[in-house]
Amino acid sequence: MDFEVLHSGFDKLEVSFNGALPAKLRAALEAAKQRAGSNVEPEHINLKGVDCWVKETGARGGYAYVFSTAEDREMWAIKDNEDPENWNLRCVVSSVALAVDGWHAVRDRLLLQLKAWGAKTTEISISRVDYAVDFIAPDFRLMPERLICHSHATVGGYPDQGEPDEMAVHWKNRQVTSLTVGKMPGRQVQIYDKAREVRSTGKGQWHEIWGRCPLKNETVWRIEVRAGKEHLGRAGIKSFDDVEEKIGSLFQIAMEKVRLAATSDFDNATRAATDPVWVRVREIVRDALEDSQGAVTFERIVEGRREEIADTYRKQIIGCALGYAVTLRKGFMETLEGIGVEIADDIAMLYDGDRCRLIEKYHRAVCRLKFLEPAANDTEDVPYAESGGPGRLLRMQT
């Protein structure tokens, strides 16, 4: 059977820490949050050597501050609480970060960031761990009738009350595109067309991770195993060490409790032969803790994002220029010949008339896109200790 693995590795991590950020850093986050509210966009600050983009709102659960790190590697939620015995710190690691860096690098980075911030953490509580295998298998077909799972499983949407292993099936053009068994925060296994999702969401980073751009009619199947807080708790998994000791076995058991039969023609589910694809994926999942660092670097991911963002801006400029021309009752040829020059003249006039405002807008763009160019010449990061308090952490060159 033709079977090609494009990627395998941890796909999501949610973890909370018992500890607290120092008052100075929380004050810096508060000032950034206020500026984000005024500017209606995330505010960039450098938090003890870590580039962060602070949102204008907090999050449910009493988290006052929410911010992402470069290229949304991690999303942090912080409580404005100084008691280190409380669970004040929460982090959600993105699937791209785990795919590119691997489990061990991500774990070490989180602990180093907390140490740099002076957060005296005493306990760790992991609430979710996902693992995914992306593959191409031209002969593979997703048929719900071949799925073997809990005897009470039903096909359809989830009811309000039901068994933990109930099944949801999604169809597109009379073909099954997604099949999910289980509900979070318990155990969940999902099979779906990852290439379709990438095309619909524009997550081009996955083309870099896979090392290829699938054809429009090509399916990249993903089998994803998810362990939520309740499932992890029953298995005694709470810390990073627990994950590294037990997660492979936990995922393997999940792939045995939920599996695809080789055919739908079976009388006894326990004796039904398992689909060869499922067997291969189960072997990969069993060795989840092997170094899953991808072949692509984050630098390459960033360059790909640079190209995507530049293309988006270019299309917006063209679209706005054409709309602008129509409002001025200019013809198509007049647009091609003159609108670009006219816009350039307008920018020059704005620079002469309100230079500070234009430079401010430019610097805000530099901060917003800083992850694309960490060594931007026009902006200098000022560590909080040198800023004199919760004021502006960026020094503008005018």
Q: Using the CB atoms, write b or e for 94-126: b if 16+ within 10 Å.
A: bbbbbbbbbbeebbebbeebbeebebebeebbb
Q: Please, which pLDDT band fits residue 165 given cuts at 50, 70 and 90?
A: low
Tens of pLDDT along 284-342? 998 887 755 556 666 766 777 777 788 888 888 888 888 888 887 877 777 777 777 77
Structure tokens at 313: 């801006």
Is the per-residue pLDDT at 398 higher than 50? Answer: no
Rg (CA), the chain: 25
First to last CA, the chain: 64
Is the per-residue pLDDT at 86 higher than 70? Answer: yes
Is the per-residue pLDDT at 30 higher than 80? Answer: yes
- DSSP 8-state code for residue 40: T
State the alpha helices, DSSP H only, in the chain: 23-39, 95-101, 103-117, 194-201, 205-210, 229-234, 240-257, 276-286, 298-327, 332-334, 340-353, 355-368, 384-387
Question: Whole-angstrom Cα distance, residue 309 to residue 80?
Answer: 34
Average pLDDT over all residues of the chain: 82
Which of 58-62, 79-83, 260-264, 303-307 is least confident?
A: 303-307
Tens of pLDDT along 184-237? 899 999 999 999 889 888 778 898 899 888 888 889 999 999 999 999 999 999
What pLDDT sits at residue 167? Answer: 66
